[in-house]
Amino acid sequence: MSERAPVPVSRPLRYAVVSSVSRGYASRFLEAAASRRDRAELVGLVFCHAAPRPDDGRKRLERKLRKVRRIGVLGALNGLRMRRWYGDAVADRLGLRDVRETARSLGVPVVEIERFGDPAAKAALAALDCDVAVSMGNAYIPRSFFSIPRRGMLNIHHELLPEYRGAQTALWQIHDGSASSGFTIHEINETIDAGRLLVRREVPISFGATLRDTVVATTAAIQLASIDGLLELLDDFDDRLERATPNVGGRMFTTPGLGAMLRIYRNHSRLRSRAARAGR
């Protein structure tokens, strides 16, 4: 992506937001972007319904079975329980509304697509004529789609890279005994969470009475911090791109299994007590 032609200086950076989550932090980002007069111009929201293809059922089932074998049945059930922590619970805490509704109320063009790989979807993104696109809450995006913008596509990972690839906010940090989490904005390539790093910031974990409270509060805080980080990046995109750093090392994480969750709960209690003694 670094070999792409520079953006003409005669016009602002044109960017689009790509999201598959109805009530996600992309809604809050659109509100923040609309209230600023930056050198970057938001040209549209691409909302993907992530509709499965008729022949995808077997592949999805095989992926789920592999994951269950890896983390166990209890781990899989726990993953389903925690999904709401990172979804509706955070959306409720931040007061988020449907991102399409937000975009239309702000006058931001909305393009709805079924799947990233569809020819119509690729044509729709190309028609926005954007220099860069930003992924906010999507599953895997194929190269045929993320390579369409002239400067490629960025992803906001709400954990620190390269250490915590694929990890959800705070969980594995607590597992490892850390009291901080963070976010990373990186280029998208064909490997999950492996593109060059543009912004990387630590954010303290906000410890609550329960692990759920901690996850929800910390995720909300990090999502808000990442919005500020993205706006700063877009204002100074060329310089930040020149200073991008390699994203090497680390390991890939997934939903914690039973043993990992027991350790997370033990460490959460210990770290919460330590934070309380420190007055945080």
CATH code at position 102: 3.40.50.170
Enclosing domain of residue 174: 13-277
7 part of a folded domain = no
* Distance (Å, whole) CA 141 – CA 192: 9
Question: Does 4 reside within a domain?
Answer: no
5 belongs to a structural domain? no
pLDDT in tens, 157-171: 999 999 999 999 999
Tokens of 263: 């350790």
Instruction: Evaluate if residue 230 carries a pLDDT over 80.
Output: yes
Q: How many domains does the chain have?
A: 1
pLDDT digits (tens, 9 = 90+) for 182-204: 999 999 999 999 999 999 999 99
Does the pLDDT value for residue 25 go beyond 70? yes
1 part of a folded domain:
no
Percent of all residues in the chain with a pLDDT value above 90, rounded to a whole number: 79
Q: Which residue has the tokens 């079975």?
A: 65
